[in-house]
Structure 1
Amino acid sequence: SREELLPVLKKPPSSRDEPGEFGHPFIIPHRMGASVERQVEEGYRRHAFNVLVSDVISVHRNLGDKREDVCKTQDKQYTRPLPTMSVVICYKNEAFSTLIRTLYSVLESVPAVLLKEVILIDDFSGNDFTEAVMKEIEELSLVKLSRNTEHLGIVKSRIKGAKMAAGDVIAFLDSHCECYEGWAEPLLDRISRDRTVVALPVMEIINPDNFKFTMTPMQRIQRGGFDWTLTYRWIPPHRDRFLNPTMDMTQPVTSPTMSGGVFAIERKFFNEMGSYDDGMSVWGGDNLEMSFRIWMCGGRIEILPCNHVGHVRPHDVHNDVVLRNKRRVADVWLDDYISLFFKRTPGALKADSGNITSRVQLRHNLNCKSFSWFIEQVYPELYVPELHPRLSGAVCCRLGETLDICLDTHSDDVIPGRPLGVDRYRSRQRTQYFEFTKHNELRHNSVRDVCVGVTSSHKVEIQRCKFPFDNHETAPPSQQWEISESGKITNKETQLCLTASTAKVWVQDCDVTNVRQKWKWK
């Protein structure tokens, strides 16, 4: 009926003048009292975003409809009937307004006929928080709340939510999202046409400081990738989206990996594929584990350009628990490529991945393809470092009796164009890890893939590697180096030698007696 096609709840009327409406940023006045400043600081400390701004903005805020016209037309062309959907949201002491805004954005956007239920998994939040949520949802019959009796983490909580789900499709949402108008139908339609598709929305950024909602143009939809530390990375759009003017921009975009914050998957397929790895601790690494498993074992990951969900991307918070999970992913899925991971994440060698027997057996039972197949067929643009480089490690120069000064990028995710630096030798320091390749490059690829090169003005800098994407046969002379038995490192183009002090590195005329030009690999 017409009523069933309307959302479960009607969004209250709003005015453009209200804070944050239509995705506009809300800026707290500069002159705020000490108590307000303390509230802001406490919000950042606990949640890594501006909780006070979230609290000021309505939990029912209207984002408007800025989708492309072709997407609005597409709303009327979906195959009927679409499958039903259960939405699973897990949280632990989430900022209350952010969680409730996530919940209402689902209830106020998904047609009643399609939404089976919203399942909230409270991962052992404080009692006061749980009571506040229970009070908020007591009249919302479609919302089910289950509270863990101990802290289980996102993976085990999502497994619990999936077991409770009764819808044909499960949509997992982080607890700090906002669903845009028309977000559910594209996901359900795509999965109804191919049950092996894991469908993703375009993940729109909600600014963590002012909650501005930013829409991504169709041509610039980023995909999910990873680096060899097994860290998720956003990667550029397919080139065709820029170069092919006749391309249908509404067609699904394949993605090698997913961030894991928001995705939809057919419930039965989710279980057939092994659900989540319940051996994962708390959080981290689960998104790459599932990405590899989906692709290698018969599924696909696709981003749907007409589907938009906003996500508050908190400022980075690091957690050592992730290392154990990454080791678990590597042991099960990377095959021979695991050495690339260990070289860039030496701490993982000591991490205990736990019992992986059941996951290895699952890979066998599902008749999954190899990791080399994944790289060749799914992620061919990923640069694969040499499994056995000619030399690898820290590149150091002995200055004085005990002082080793080594090449250092000073950042894990170094940006090309910056000068190459030096620093004291630190064992297993990732910013000091380099490889000397068969193409005579000095490569640093812990995170971003970069090369040491010499500019036309003879400055030594970190550069984007020209091989193999610009120069298909070999690296350009400015990025090639010759290493002698005596330890000299000579740039092929300039024939100048790498020279170090305690503060910087440069190239100058070669001198066999100059100790500042004698390098060794540690």
Structure 2
Amino acid sequence: MHYRPFHWQLSQRASRRGRLKLWQVAVSLLLLLLLGALHQQLSHWDGLVEPLPAAGMDNMPAAEVGAFARLWLEYGYNAWLAERIPVRRGLLDMRDDRCLEYSYPKLSALMEPRCPQQRSRQAFRAYVQRYIHGAARIFHLEEHVGLVRARRLAADEAKLETLIFLDAHVEVSEGWLEPLLAAIWEDQFTLATPQLDRLDEETLEYVRVVERRGLFDWSLRRREVPLTWQQIKQLPRPFATAVLRTSVFAINAEWFNKLAHLDMELNAPAAAELELSFKVWRIGGRVLQVPCSRVAHLQPSDLGYMQRYGDLQQMAREHFSSYKRLTEIWLSEPRYKSVVYQHQPQILQAHLPNVSKLQELIKRVDFESFDWYLQHVATDLLRHFPLLPRIDLAHGTLRPAHLPSHCLTADLQTRRIHLQPCNAVQQLTQNWTLSSLNDLRLGVDICAEVQPTQYVALSACHTLGGRQSWRLDMDKNYLISNRHCLEFNVRMRVYVRRCDYMNQRQMWFFEHTNVAAIKTNDL
């Protein structure tokens, strides 16, 4: 790809492209510890610099079982164990052996990022200044501002020329930093991301995963697909990815500030991830995934913890608004917009202020079109995700195997969900859709949501997952929400409970099931 110069880029530095020495690159590490923090007692940090063995689960004291359950419910993963693992535990070298053949200047090691509790701020500051860098600058925001705004604030405060963003749910491994900086050194208009491995939510074990690249589907969700054959042959060298994951990434500071401040109103993290990918590629930069840089990321499968961050309906309004901005500004051709709105009708209904000035600015800056992006960057997106209306995973009546004459039924007045005899007259309240957005819908915008009591009731759809997340297990006929299975009791009320293959009240059958769509949706 030709990286054309443009007046909005860093013209003063363009002449130095490719001539910067890696050890001259100054790094500002922005530990963005505001979203989904790992639970950690920082008051015990001082002195924990030698690798120590991880705490085990086999010898959990009986008195700790309650704390274990409470922390899991609050955080969505084994936070009890996270409290007992040292900040700088020993990890095996996760890199491909061929990575060791590459030469990078030696950089100081970094700790695993953890979130400071209010009472541990001083301990956190003391630890960073003693063991990382004495001149480190630390900022604590007094209120939750969201991940996207936090990145902008951090970038504004940074004084050096390279930014590295890390979310809280990550743990870095040996040699992770140098390859990211090398990618930027080769071309400063590069956004570099590591290979994100996985932290097991139960054991907190570091799990190495196979390299994949990012795309998106027409509901605008980030999706991952296999590497091309050419990329596989060139591993472990960096490879281009059409859509990045922003859990960890490195970028030139001045360039990031130009890109990030172009639209200050788009604040939903997932939409911002797509938007940043579009901006980098369509202005002449590149997004590289760097397999020799390996960082583990913890993503709880139980999304109920999202309730901690506030009212999901309020979050949904900002979510839909941000996605509408993304669609109208960056996927502006009618044929693309129409399919997005078919996949997510709530986006079309969202409020959008006048964005004509922003659209004119983008034209003046001379961003490439979305068609160009599909032709030169996301070249196989339409093969993986054809430009078609939304295809739902299952629809029709939903019946328990143990009581097939009854159907899942909604009461629109009380918002309760229960079982009643199947009746064609009640089609409006017995006709369910398991959408490709992984929610269980009644009509267009009413969803089944797990309540704190574990009973299931109706709520406005927000597409953010959480307690509205549902998945159909085709092998066991389970309908699963956040690791728990849908079940009914003797009063015909429905609720969720831990899955039990011996429990026939947890087996359900949809009237119509699209097996191919389910397999595609699981990519």
> TM-score, normalised on structure 2?
0.61
Matched, 1:146 2:139: yes
Unaligned stretches of 5+ in structure 1?
20-25, 86-101, 107-119, 415-422, 432-445, 448-501, 507-522
| Match for residue 291 of structure 1 among 277, 280, 283 | 277
Residues 39 and 184 (structure 1), Cα distance of their counterparts in 2 relative to 1, 3 Å cut: same
**Contact kept in structure 2, 1:187 and 1:304, CA below 8 Å:** yes
Q: How does 1:33-432 map to 2 (within 5 A)?
A: 33=62, 35-74=63-102, 76=103, 78=104, 104-105=111-112, 127-137=118-128, 139=130, 140-216=133-209, 220-241=210-231, 247-275=233-261, 277-281=263-267, 283-315=269-301, 316-317=303-304, 319=312, 320=316, 321-335=318-332, 336=334, 337-354=336-353, 356-357=355-356, 359-383=358-382, 385-386=386-387, 400=424, 403=427, 410-412=434-436, 426-427=443-444
The aligned amino acid for 1:133 is F
State the alpha-carbon separation in 1 of the partners of residues 163 and 300 from structure 2. 25
Q: 2:51 maps to which residue?
A: 14
**Does structure 2 conserve the Cα–Cα contact (< 8 Å) formed by 1:344 and 1:430?**
no
* Cα distance, 1:314 vs structure 2: 2.4
Contact in 1 for aligned 2:246/2:273 (Cα 8 Å): yes
Q: Is the 8 A contact 1:399 1:405 kept in 2?
A: no
Of 25, 28, 45 in structure 1, the residue corresponding to residue 57 of structure 2 is 28
Higher helix share: 2
Shift of 1:359: 3.9
Contact 2:215 2:223 in 1 (8 A): yes
Aligned equivalents of 2:217, 2:263: Cα separation in 1: 21
Inter-CA distance 137–149: structure 2 relative to 1 (3 Å threshold) = same
Supply the distance in 2 between the matched residues of 1:4 and 1:264 (Cα, whole angstroms): 15
* CA distance in structure 2 between the aligned counterparts of 1:46 and 1:395, rounded to whole angstroms: 32
* Higher mean C-alpha deviation, range 400-409 or range 143-152: 400-409
Paired residue type of 1:352: H
- For 1:325, the aligned partner's letter is S
SS at match of 1:285: helix
Structure 1 equivalent of residue 486 of structure 2: none
Report SS of the residue matched to 2:214. strand
Secondary structure of 1:59 counterpart: coil
User: What displacement does 1:248 show?
Assistant: 2.8
Rounded to whole Å, the distance in 2 between the matches of 1:307 and 1:364 is 36
Corresponding pairs, count: 373
- Answer 1 or 2: higher relative contact order, Cα 8 Å, separation at least 6: 2
Cα distance change of structure 1 residues 4 and 274 upon mapping to structure 2, 3 Å threshold: closer
The structural deviation recorded for 1:41 is: 2.7
User: What whole-Å deviation, never above 9, does each CA across 1:450-479 have from its counterpart, x for those lacking one?
Assistant: xxxxxxxxxxxxxxxxxxxxxxxxxxxxxx
Letter in 1 for 2:255: F
Distance 1:339 1:425 in 2: 23
Q: Distance in 1 between matches of 2:392 and 2:172?
A: 47
Aligned to 2:516: none
Shift of the 147–276 alpha-carbon distance from structure 1 to 2, 3 Å rule, reads farther
CA distance in 2, matches of 1:378, 1:60: 38
| Contact persistence 1:256–1:301 (CA under 8 A) | yes
State the alpha-carbon separation in 2 of the partners of residues 10 and 52 from structure 1. 21
Quick one: distance in 1 between partners of 2:262 and 2:56? 39
2:458 maps to which residue?
A: none
Aligned to 1:208, what secondary structure does the other structure show?
coil
Displacement of 1:38 in angstroms is: 2.7
- Checking the alignment, whether the CA contact within 8 Å between 1:394 and 1:407 is kept in structure 2 is no
Provide the rounded CA distance (Å) in 2 between the counterparts of 1:200 and 1:503.
Answer: 41
Max radius of gyration: which structure? 1
- Listed as ranges, the gaps of 5+ residues in structure 2 are 1-22, 30-45, 307-311, 398-421, 449-462, 465-508, 514-523
How much has 1:103 moved relative to structure 2? 6.1
Instruction: Quote the Cα distance in structure 2 between the aligned partners of 1:178 and 1:276.
Output: 31
Identical positions, percent: 23
Decide whether the 8 Å contact of 1:256 with 1:379 is kept in 2: yes
Shift of 1:405: 9.7
Write the letter of the residue equivalent to 1:215: R
